[in-house]
A and B are shown apart, each in its own frame.
Chain A
């Protein structure tokens, strides 16, 4: 009896293992090709000097040297400045505003239900639609309104060099606000009401409840925003492609925008252009990885504990 049971158990284990191998085969293969393979290929391409005429290549490190020199050019330094500014502006505005207003929704204050639906709107509408409406409004309607109502003659904010980056960032914060509020309020809604009630009995109400109870409990979500924001430092396009297509002014470009645009250009021009782009991508990865991991460590060290 015991032997039969043992044999059945072994048979079950073997069946489980076969089933496990079958369901994991595709995901692992896909990951091996499209993550490990692609990134390994990216490293190889960065070291290749491709001759599109003979379709041959030789190994070289010149793309890193060229890429590094390029990264120190005024144009790319502006991109670095814009990329960092975009991250800082986003975390300094979206996070506090998002947390504050999500607390309003979480506390089921007047109109919370309807605001939840409205705030969700920007996340489901394509960025190209939202940007198009915003762009045409700021380009056509806004200067006309300023002229007619306030007698102020002005250039369209997206065309004026001094206001275009601010306008693009305003749009990003304006649209991202809704998503941030929803994410935080959804996380807050998982807080056991007994905790807030207990805090209330202890005298923690309003701001103190928010600061000592709610904030530590939503900190995991907050940390995701901080870490993924840092991870996306050099890939964030701040919707520039939707605003300007392939011809964004240099003064507003970020690395994320530039890399995407150049990848498309390289596809048109042939594979030779990929090498330098991959080299610059790798150089930027070397900067972004320690920054992101550092941010994660900092958050784990300084952030409050859910307990």
Chain B
């Protein structure tokens, strides 16, 4: 007997979806909502379109082409001549990171290294975070010790009890333990079980029938074999979805690298620096938006390849403890 691998929530079938639709689909309200959704979608596309076309305008400040093609000549229209700014940006998108030892002169970090940092940071943080959350949820859901209940309640309490302004203490702690300014240090700091996805994993483990583990136990499988050979394949789908979401979140995050990784700027951190400072040659809007487009492409590819998985039902339940 085969069992479907775990999904977050239940995906309704097309027939179920159709059955929800009422017969009188086109009321005044639904037409109005359709119009609003179209306008909203167009506004999103318009912004991306603006970013895209501006990235192809002349961005060399002080030149006649710049005056004619961008400022003040053509601030919102299509480019009269399409300029390939990406080569220049790739070469000149350089961010000053502090020396990792904190003693020497600042180090120049180029785009290739920033992409490398982003991959290391995002993959490591997302994997450590998802794995620890999944493992803890498994322990809590499948082993009915009192401590499991304490952990479950702790997650809920942490979610609803706001702690404000503990960043300085966290920074101080990271410095004290030698985790500050280290990508692996960030992996350790993110390897926690707190957050909404713990509850998602917990619910899935709770709903898995015990028959599989009982059968495996009768066949002589130990706890580790049950976990990695029976349970993980069953929840692989959910695990990958959560991993993907946390990967995208880490990839897009620039504030944590900004605060904790001054020597290892990621692409997001680099873009933040580019749009908020005057790096020579990169201080114009077309160049800055070209840098934004370069950063956007990998995540767009990930999204297009995985949109079905990402859009699979991700629901948030209640917080009743």
Contacts and interface: CB of A to CB of B under 8 A. Distances in A.
Given A24-B136, A129-B296, A141-B75, A281 B33 contact: no
A122 B303 CA distance: 11
Given A128-B268, A190-B313, A221-B315, A101 B169 contact: no
A186 interface: yes
Contacts of A45: 168-169, 172
Contact of A220 (B43, B173, B251, B317): B317
Contacts of A38: 166, 169-170, 173
Interface string A11-43: 010011001100110111011011101110110
A207 to B, nearest CB: 8
A62 interface: no
A41 B299 CA distance: 37
Contacts of A264: 258-259
Nearest to A115: B37
A125 B302 CA distance: 11
B76 A141 contact: yes
A228 B160 CA distance: 6
A89 interface: no
B167 A15 contact: no
B62 interface: no
Contacts of A28: 151
B168 A274 contact: yes
B210 interface: no
Interface in B247-304: 248, 251-255, 258-259, 268, 271-272, 275-277, 285, 288-289, 292, 295-296, 299-300, 302-303
Nearest to A106: B20
Contacts, number: 314
A54 to B, nearest CB: 17
Nearest to B262: A267
Given A259-B165, A284-B164, A34 B192 contact: yes
Interface in B213-252: 217, 222-224, 227, 248, 251-252
Nearest to B313: A186
Contact of B311 (A117, A122, A271): A117
Q: Is the interface of B mostly helix, strand, loop or mixed?
A: helix
B112 interface: no
A73 interface: no
Contacts of B320: 220, 300
A263 interface: yes
Contact of A227 (B163, B272, B310, B319): B319
Interface stretch (A74-82, A160-168, A234-242): A234-242
B285 to A, nearest CB: 5
Interface string B65-77: 0000001100110
B145 A100 contact: no
A219 B319 CA distance: 11
Contacts of A245: 272, 276-277
B30 A259 contact: no
A141 B78 CA distance: 12
Contact of A293 (B160, B253, B302, B315): B160
A86 to B, nearest CB: 15
A19 B37 CA distance: 51
A173 B295 CA distance: 24
Contacts of B299: 124-126
Contact of A34 (B16, B170, B302): B170
A30 B192 contact: yes
B307 interface: yes
A39 B158 CA distance: 12
Contact of A228 (B159, B222, B271): B159
Contacts of A144: 72, 75-76
A165 to B, nearest CB: 20
Interface in A77-130: 100-101, 104, 106-111, 115-122, 124-130
B141 to A, nearest CB: 12
Contacts of A12: 217
A169 interface: no
Contacts of B316: 183, 187, 220-221, 224
B207 interface: no
B135 A23 contact: yes
B29 to A, nearest CB: 8
Interface stretch (B46-54, B79-87, B89-97, B103-111): B46-54
A119 to B, nearest CB: 8
Given A26-B132, A26-B191, 14 more contacts: A31-B192, A31-B194, A34-B189, A104-B37, A136-B51, A140-B71, A221-B315, A235-B162, A260-B167, A264-B258, A282-B164, A285-B165, A289-B162, A293-B160
Interface of A: 12, 15-16, 19-20, 23-24, 26-28, 30-31, 33-35, 37-39, 41-42, 45, 100-101, 104, 106-111, 115-122, 124-130, 132-137, 140-141, 144-145, 174, 177-178, 182-183, 186-187, 189-190, 193, 196-197, 200, 205-206, 219-221, 223-224, 227-228, 230-235, 241-242, 244-246, 255, 259-260, 263-264, 266-267, 271, 273-274, 277-278, 280-282, 284-285, 288-289, 292-293, 296, 300
6 contacts: A23-B135, A23-B136, A27-B151, A104-B33, A107-B20, A109-B21
